[in-house]
């Protein structure tokens, strides 16, 4: 497997108040639910033609959380949110590179 593939392939995903992804190269990223929900790239949240955001962040519940997640092939993650929104597909590459996250350093 190339390094590029390794970097965009999760080893493990778990939820504990944040969404955590541990990638194949052991990089550990954590995503704030609200930030992730308001970054949803779907056509209901972002205008497909202009790339302009349609979603009004202030209408998103601060206690938003994922209900479940599902892999779409091996390139994206679909997240089902507590506000019933479930059409957003988060590309794994974007989760690794573009979406806001904090890096968790592993303490060993």
- Which of 8, 77, 88, 92 is in the footprint of Zn ion by CB under 5 A? 88
Q: Is residue 64 within 8 Å of residue 83, measured between CB atoms?
A: yes
Phi and psi at residue 92, to the nearest 5°: -65, -35
Judged by CB under 5 A, the number of residues near Zn ion is 5
Nearer to Zn ion, 25 or 47 (CB): 47
Q: Is residue 84 within 8 Å of residue 97, measured between CB atoms?
A: no
Minimum distance from CB of 92 to Zn ion (Å)? 17
- Which of 19, 36, 40, 95 is in the footprint of Zn ion by CB under 5 A? 40
Which range binds Zn ion by CB under 5 A, 12-20, 22-30, 42-50, 58-66? 42-50
Q: Distances in Å between the alpha carbon of 29 and those of 2, 45, 89? A: 20, 24, 18
Q: Is residue 36 within 8 Å of residue 79, measured between CB atoms?
A: yes
Nearer to Zn ion, 12 or 43 (CB): 43
**Which residues here bind Zn ion, judged by CB under 5 A?**
40, 42, 44-45, 88
């Amino acid at each position: 497997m190339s390094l590029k593939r390794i970097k965009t392939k999760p080893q493990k995903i778990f939820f504990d108040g944040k969404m955590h992804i541990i990638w194949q190269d052991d990089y550990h990223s954590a995503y704030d639910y609200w930030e992730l929900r308001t970054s949803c790239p779907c056509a209901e949240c972002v205008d497909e033609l202009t790339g302009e955001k349609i979603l009004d962040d202030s209408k998103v519940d601060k206690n938003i959380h994922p209900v479940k997640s599902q892999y779409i092939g091996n390139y994206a993650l679909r997240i089902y949110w507590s506000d019933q929104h479930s059409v957003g597909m988060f590309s794994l590459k974007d989760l690794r590179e573009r979406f806001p996250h904090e890096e968790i350093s592993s303490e060993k």
